Amino acid sequence: MNDNKRVIEINGVKFEVDMQSAKRVDEFKVGDNIKVLRKDYSSHKIENGVIVDFVNFKGLPTIQIAVFETTYSHSEIKFLNINAETEDLEIMPTNPHEMTLEKNKVVDSIDREITSLENRKMDLIAKKEWFLMYYGKHFEGGEPNDTTN
């Protein structure tokens, strides 16, 4: 390190100090909650994510990130890779209280989706049972078919 520079820690944040200026040095580890700034066509989108892995490829070390996209009726986890060739992506640490809110939002969205799919499943089972019971009754004039098939 240059004699004019030194790294100091202030309130858990490390700074590389060069006499008249300070440069923030972020440290990340697997499992850290982060914010991702991603260019989305003509605008930028901020998303919450978690660092999944540091992949130390010889030619292109890469950070793998899981990003959570949540709407009222749907939650999806997408994976992003960030390395020296990545454009239009930037990451920074997230405050702990922000991720608690995001966690609850994602869990609620997934629970709603599970309930919706369970209801859809029950509806399809009922339709199948009705079909098997009444198929042929109207066409053949016979008794309802056995539903055990």
State the Cα–Cα distance between residues 21 and 24, nearest whole angstrom.
10
Check residue 9 and give its pLDDT.
66
Enter the tokens of residue 94.
């997230």
**Distance (Å, rounded) from C-alpha 69 to C-alpha 80?**
12
In order of 7, 107, 148, the CA distances from 77 in angstroms are 36, 12, 39
Torsions phi, psi of 9, nearest 5? -115, 125
pLDDT of residue 75: 73
Q: Where are the domains of the chain?
A: 1-26, 31-140
N-term to C-term CA, the chain? 76
* pLDDT one digit per residue (tens) for the chain, 149 residues: 556 777 766 556 676 666 566 556 678 888 888 888 888 788 888 888 888 988 888 888 888 998 887 766 677 888 999 888 888 888 888 877 766 666 777 788 888 889 999 999 999 999 999 988 888 676 665 555 555 55
Residues 6 or more apart whose CB falls under 8 angstroms from that of 11 comprise: none
**How far apart are the C-alpha atoms of 83 and 85, rounded to whole Å?**
5
Residue 51's nearest CA partner among 23, 21, 27 is 27
